[in-house]
Amino acid sequence: MRWRRLGRLCLTVHGEQSPTDEEWTAYLAGIDRHVPLHAQRVLVVSAGGAPSSAQRKRMVDALEGAQVPVAIITSSLLMRGAGIAVSWFNPFVEVFAPHQLARALDHLGLTEWQRAEVPRILAQLESELEISVIVDERRVA
């Protein structure tokens, strides 16, 4: 699992494995450090890894009822299921296919600067995890 902050946007990338409890604890502590959770936007890209039900509960509890826009990009059935489970508590969670990055960014209401930076940061995070999830929309017919 890797993540970066871009203003109020948190970019989170999961590899094929689910995050450890230690990774999840550090993630929750880090994402709330400078921007309150309720004011954030979250973009999640996953090659199959997804937070456990206990980890998802910790996230829901941390949000204290705030409904944060979340876009999840994955082809993984496990991660799609996790996204659907979270959407029961937050109707602003939406799941997208790997070729739908532009639609995911629209859902999050990002600035033009953020939209320009996101692909570069995602490529870096995917490279660190040695995965490739995002598909260039121009190659999908």
Residue 32 has pLDDT above 60, yes or no: yes
* Rg, the chain, Cα only: 14
CB distance 9 to 114 below 8 Å: yes
Q: Closest by alpha carbon to 122, among 137, 107, 133?
A: 133
Q: How far apart are CA 84 and CA 139, in angstroms?
A: 28
Q: Give me the pLDDT at residue 94, please.
A: 95
Confidence of residue 65 (pLDDT cuts 50, 70, 90): confident
* Strand, helix or coil for residue 116: helix
| Domain 2-139 classification at class level | alpha beta
Confidence of residue 140 (pLDDT cuts 50, 70, 90): low
Q: Give me the pLDDT at residue 126, please.
A: 97
Q: How far apart are CA 18 and CA 37, in angstroms?
A: 22
Which residue type sits at 56?
Answer: R
What average pLDDT does the chain have?
Answer: 90
CA atoms within 13 A on the CB side of 7: 13
More confident residue, 123 or 87: 123
Burial of 5 by CB count in 10 Å (0-12 exposed, 13-18 middle, 19+ buried)?
middle
Using alpha carbons, list the distances in angstroms from residue 54 to 20, 24, 59: 11, 10, 9
* Model confidence pLDDT, tens digit, residues 78-119: 888 888 887 887 899 999 999 999 999 999 999 999 999 999
Delimit the domains of the chain by residue range.
2-139
